[in-house]
Structure 1
Amino acid sequence: MIARLKGELVSTGMDHAVIDVGGVGYLVGASSRTLGVLGPVGGSVTIHTEMLVSEDSMRLMGFATADERDWFRLLTSVQGVGSRVALAILSALEANELHRAIASGDKAMVARANGVGPKLAQRIVNELKDKIGGIVLGPGGGSVAQPKGSHASDAMSALGNLGFKPAEASAAVTTAEDELGEGATLDALVRLALKKAAK
């Protein structure tokens, strides 16, 4: 799988860019937000990628941040949301806006994207509300994949088994992890995360 490309920006179109990596030109589908930050043609670019493989084609999608790529994966996990619709949503909304819209159940905000009607927007909100536990808002307002430590996923699972929602568990484990540091034991992490989640 191709996870990242670093090379020279050859050209950009309405929904794609061509990046030359060692003499090979990669056609990469992208949101208008990503295309807007790639810089001038001829310049050096690095983008995160997701390879889509189907029976009759192989396509590469490109993202300015790993964060945007994570949202693309989440969006395309919803029935009825293909790569084109996912890119339209990511073109219309920043990651933190999308997180806020889904967390608050604001289907109208999701429906601002081209090709997203009220029914599909509602489905996106409903299906992703419990899945966004792995993506929490960072201090700068952007979303970051959290938590990151070796025991974090086990601690999240433990809190989930105790009835906490994924978003609550993720936020609590992240806060606990920040206080204890990455060397914390699983037991200590779960105990502190429970205290944070119970507040």
Structure 2
Amino acid sequence: MIGRLRGTLAEKQPPHLIVDVNGLGYELEVPMTTLYRLPKVGEAVTLHTHLVVREDAHLLYGFHEKRERELFRELIRLNGVGPKLALALMSGLDVDELVRCVQAQDASALVKVPGVGKKTAERLLVELKDRFKAWETSPAMFALVPNGPLPLATVSSAEADAVSALISLGYKPQEASKAVAAVDAKGLSSEELIRRSLKGMI
């Protein structure tokens, strides 16, 4: 099991990354809540990881905080929840927001996530309720904003990255394009544009 990677962020194409560790490039997929916290390409990065082994592939998922990884592991233990749906849930809601939804048994935010209908949301809330009892006193994880000033990016590039990232999470192309178009993209990085587009959808 690969539990952590420390290296250089070589590529960033949301939600996929490549981390260079002593010349070996590890390809990972991350939730948007991790993406917002990443440094610029070429800078050092440390990610907590979870490896999923399938017959046709070994898939590595990365997380900024251990608490994110623990949430991911809790989610994929549930019936009908695979890594893709888990990442979609974690991209639309941070850890504390999801915990609050479960505690309040509030399905309204969950049903807006691609792949989650009303019945699925209600089942997830019931199955997660007991699992999240130990999480109730956990401190807030982090604000969903990048550290430091936002890097400037061309609008077309940022918009294209944002639409691509939303589609990879399961949103329909027209939904993704509409959500991105509703945000004033001037001067925003692709990460911040994704964050605002997702918040508008959830």
Q: Which amino acid is the alignment partner of residue 99 of structure 1? A: V
Q: Compute the displacement of 1:137 (Å).
A: 3.1
Q: Compute the displacement of 1:77 (Å).
A: 1.1
Equivalent pairs counted in the alignment come to: 142
Q: Which amino acid is the alignment partner of residue 102 of structure 1? A: V
Matched, 1:100 2:132: no
Q: Deviations over 1:42-91 (max 9, x none)?
A: 00000100000122221100001000101101111111111011001100
Q: CA-atom RMSD, angstroms?
A: 1.5
- How far apart are the structure 1 equivalents of 2:4 and 2:16? 16
Q: Deviations over 1:131-169 (max 9, x none)?
A: 11332333x4339xxxxxxxxxxxxxxxxxxxxxxxxxx
Query: What TM-score does the superposition give when structure 2 sets the normalisation length?
Result: 0.67
SS in 2 for 1:102: helix
- How far apart are the structure 1 equivalents of 2:37 and 2:114? 21
8 Å contact from structure 1 (residues 17, 35) kept in 2: no
Query: What TM-score does the superposition give when structure 1 sets the normalisation length?
Result: 0.68
Quick one: structure 1 residues 142 and 32, their matched pair in 2 at CA, closer, same or farther if it must change by over 3 Å? closer
- How far apart are the structure 2 equivalents of 1:71 and 1:3? 15
Partner of 2:7: 7
- How far apart are the structure 1 equivalents of 2:40 and 2:17? 11
8 Å contact from structure 1 (residues 28, 62) kept in 2: yes
Instruction: Please list every run of 5 or more consecutive structure 1 residues that lacks an aligned counterpart in the other structure.
Output: 144-199
Within 5 Å, which residues of 2 pair with 1:2-81? 2-81=2-81
- How far apart are the structure 1 equivalents of 2:90 and 2:70? 11
- How far apart are the structure 1 equivalents of 2:45 and 2:141? 21
Asked which structure has the greater CA Rg, the reply is 1
**After TM superposition, where is structure 1 displaced by more than 3 Å over at least 4 residues in a row?**
none
8 Å contact from structure 1 (residues 91, 113) kept in 2: no
SS in 2 for 1:10: strand
Q: Which moved more, 1:109-118 or 1:56-65?
A: 109-118
Partner of 2:141: 142
Partner of 1:109: 109
Q: Compute the displacement of 1:37 (Å).
A: 0.9
* Higher relative contact order (Cα pairs below 8 Å, separated by 6+ residues): 2
